[in-house]
Amino acid sequence: MMTLEISVTGRTLDAAAERDLAERVLAALTAAESAPDETMRRAREFTHVLIGQPRTWVTGGPDAETAPRYLVRLTVPQSWSNDRDFGRYIIPMITDAVAATEPDPGRLRREPHCVVQIVGLREHCVGTLGRSTTSTELTRLMTQDFRDSGQRPEAPEGCTIDPTCGMVVEWATAQFTVTHAGVDYAFCAPSCRKVFVEDHAVS
């Protein structure tokens, strides 16, 4: 579950421009080539993008009153944000999606005018279905359609398919693995591994 709150100043956005910005960011976060449609469709259901234009925003630097600025607050389960590669992967993706709505898409790579903050929520501090939900339960909800489909896509050479979400995982860089019934499995994230372990009673 991801929530992105994007505050914008120095640029007036009408409803259509706000929707375009929100949809670009949503598409960037939920359009992984290495994941099946079933998983991405459910991921979109658990991803929320909100756009706001504060009445007051005071900051410094050159062109502080005229150069558009963006503050993106991304809220995710803490177990996701604890992964050191998460920020390295997601911050450029968000920045480029925001930049694509500007006349000069390269500006936000040259000027520090898009700040992305990642906020991790402790277990049981996010919920749906009227109850608190752990990161593993969220992963289970997001991957249910893929797991129920029974599909097992073909993995490229040197890779395997995460049996929980269907993502392609390279064996050489796999951090999360388990052996079950004599077969080795690799996972894109610890929560995917945990779902598999729970479902297969792996010790």
Kindly state the average pLDDT of the residues 6-16.
95
Residue that is written with structure tokens 């359009």 in the block: 31
pLDDT digits (tens, 9 = 90+) for 16-74: 999 999 999 999 988 766 788 888 889 899 999 999 999 999 988 877 777 899 999 99
Using a pLDDT cut of 90, give the percent of the chain over it: 69
Per-residue DSSP letters for 37-89?
Answer: HHHHHHHHHTEEEEEE--S-----STTTTTS-EEEEEEEEEHHHHTSHHHHHH
* Helix or strand holding residue 139 (H, E): helix 135-149
Kindly state the average pLDDT of the residues 82-91.
86
Which two three-digit tokens encode residue 200?
A: 């297969």
Three-state SS for 177? strand
* Helix or strand holding residue 163 (H, E): none
Kindly state the average pLDDT of the residues 143-163.
91
Which two three-digit tokens encode residue 106?
A: 């390269």
Residue 51 makes CB contacts below 8 A (sequence gap 6+) with 6, 8, 13, 18, 21, 22
pLDDT at 90 (0 to 100): 93
The pTM of the full predicted model, rounded to 2 decimals, is: 0.85
* Helix or strand holding residue 128 (H, E): strand 127-128
Question: pLDDT band at residue 203, thresholds of 50, 70 and 90?
Answer: low
Helices (H) and strands (E) in the chain, counts: 7, 10
pLDDT at 21 (0 to 100): 97
Output phi, psi for 55, to 5 deg.
Answer: -70, -35
pLDDT digits (tens, 9 = 90+) for 94-132: 999 999 999 999 999 999 999 999 999 999 898 888 999
Dihedral sign from CA coordinates of 22, 90, 162, 196 = negative
Paired strand residues for 71: 7, 115
